[in-house]
């Protein structure tokens, strides 16, 4: 029994997205994290400091461990973002803004609390 059979899922036709350049099959409605899990992938980020692999931890948008780059946009939470046909998903290195870790100037810098 797999989860799709267990829940009697009859999703529409699957489509293809890519993960680090290789094609991966996706079902409509799944999040990026679900698609990657279904493809046997459990990590898609390397940490800023030690370059360690990470993937889903909390599964509900709280821990930010599952950050991933989708269609060139870094820092997307894979457990929240629904997958779309043709998505280009890539492992996120560090901040996802290149080696220097500088911001990309798109105004998407986030305000967090630092004290």
Partner 1 sequence: MRTDLAVIGAGPAGLAAALAASARGVRVTLVDAATRPGGQFYRQPAEALAASRPEALHHGWRTWERLRDGLAVSAVRVLTEHHVWCVERTPDGFTVNALLGPEQEEPVQLHARAVLLATGGYERVLPFPGWTLPGVVTAGGAQAMLKGGLVVPGRRALVAGTGPLLLPVATGLAAAGVEVAALVESTGPRRLARHAPALAGKLPEGAGHAAGLLRHRIPVLTRHTVVRAHGDDRLTGVTVAALGTDGHVRPGTERHLPCDTLAAGHGMLPHTDLAESLGCRLDGLAVAVDTEQRTDVPGVWAAGEATGIGGAALSLAEGHIAGCSAAAHLHGTAPGPAPAALKARTALQRSAAALDSAYVLPAHWPEQITDDTVVCRCEEVTAGAVREALDLGAGDERTVKLFTRAGMGWCQGRMCGTAIAGLAGCAPTPAKRPFARPVPLGVLARHHPKEGPS
Ligand X SMILES: Cc1cc2nc3c(=O)[nH]c(=O)nc-3n(C[C@H](O)[C@H](O)[C@H](O)COP(=O)(O)OP(=O)(O)OC[C@H]3O[C@@H](n4cnc5c(N)ncnc54)[C@H](O)[C@@H]3O)c2cc1C
Query: Binding to partner 1 by residue 112, rule CB under 8 A?
Result: yes
Query: Binding to partner 1 by residue 20, rule CB under 8 A?
Result: no
Instruction: Tell me how far, at minimum, the Cβ of 100 lies from ligand FES, in Å.
Output: 25
Query: Binding to ligand FES by residue 54, rule CB under 6 A?
Result: no
Contacts of 66 (CB under 8 A, 6+ apart): 33, 44, 45, 54, 55, 56, 57, 77, 78, 79
CA–centroid distance for 106 within its chain: 20
Residues that bind ligand FES (CB under 6 A): 56-59, 61-66, 77, 79
Residues that bind ligand X (CB under 6 A): 59-60
């Amino acid at each position: 029994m797999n989860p799709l059979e267990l829940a009697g899922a009859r999703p529409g036709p699957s489509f293809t997205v890519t993960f680090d350049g290789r094609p991966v099959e996706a079902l409509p409605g799944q999040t990026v994290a679900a698609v990657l899990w279904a493809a046997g992938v459990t990590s898609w980020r390397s940490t800023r400091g030690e370059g360690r692999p990470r993937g889903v931890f909390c599964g509900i948008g709280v821990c930010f461990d599952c950050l991933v780059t989708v269609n060139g946009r870094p820092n997307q939470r894979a457990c929240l973002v629904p997958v779309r046909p043709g998505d280009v998903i890539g492992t996120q290195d560090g901040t996802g803004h290149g080696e220097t870790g500088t911001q990309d100037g798109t105004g998407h810098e986030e305000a967090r609390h630092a004290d």
